[in-house]
Copies of this chain bind each other. A is one copy, B any other.
């Protein structure tokens, strides 16, 4: 069950990478690479930080396979997928919740502190998207819009709190994922944004 959701989340993330690639008219390989890095990039960064090598998504063939499926789907049926994008967004919110909760759980297991877990959990969820944005030379979306990473951070924090209170892992995972997913959907509906920083120029590098 958890595995099926994990693979489904990877697939949905891969779709968003593939759409960036078709917008830029990359070649087939570029579509596959961008789909794969968006799908499994966050998990790979998390695994590297936690010392899990080779990363889980390179040992289990299904992750790359699912990403290639996402790339192929966008190559052959982009407009049909785009027409149902609201469903993809809902699935993406579920993936976000799951990845944040699982990332937090793996961080906790690896013995890093609460603030570290508050980074690795969300990173699992948003890392692939950041890699995607950097490769296509866009300012990473999580840095300035939506309530995406913030939802993941709050879900990861909930996981930590529940675990500290002695909740069984399955329950903590479920509640944490639900909080992230629910927050993501609610903020999508209401178009909630985090406050933006007031503008200030960078000070010059002189003494």
Q: In the complex, A50 Cα to B74 Cα: how many Å? A: 30
Q: Does A195 contact B (CB under 8 A)?
A: yes
Give chain B residues whose Cβ lies under 8 Å from the Cβ of A55: 49
A22 touches B134 (CB 8 A): no
Q: Mark A179-207, 1 if CB is under 8 A from B, else 0.
A: 00000010011010111111111111111
Q: Does A24 contact B (CB under 8 A)?
A: yes
Give the contacts of A15-37 with B (CB-CB under 8 A): 19-31, 33-34, 36
Q: Mark A59-82, 1 if CB is under 8 A from B, else 0.
A: 111001100000000110011011
Contact for A58 among B49, B90, B201, CB less than 8 A: B49
Give chain B residues whose Cβ lies under 8 Å from the Cβ of A178: none
Q: In the complex, A29 Cα to B118 Cα: how many Å? A: 13
Contact-residue size bin, chain A (C-beta under 8 Å from the other chain): 35 or more
5 shortest interchain CB distances as A-B pairs:
A51-B53, A30-B143, A85-B203, A58-B116, A78-B200
Can you list 24 A-B pairs, Cβ within 8 angstroms, ordered by A? A19-B202, A19-B203, A21-B143, A22-B199, A23-B199, A24-B139, A25-B197, A26-B144, A27-B195, A28-B196, A29-B153, A30-B142, A48-B48, A48-B53, A54-B116, A65-B115, A82-B201, A85-B204, A86-B206, A89-B205, A134-B134, A135-B143, A137-B137, A137-B139
Known: A22-B199, A28-B194. 15 other contacts (CB 8 A): A22-B197, A27-B197, A29-B149, A29-B150, A34-B143, A51-B51, A51-B54, A54-B107, A59-B111, A64-B115, A65-B115, A78-B200, A86-B207, A135-B140, A135-B143
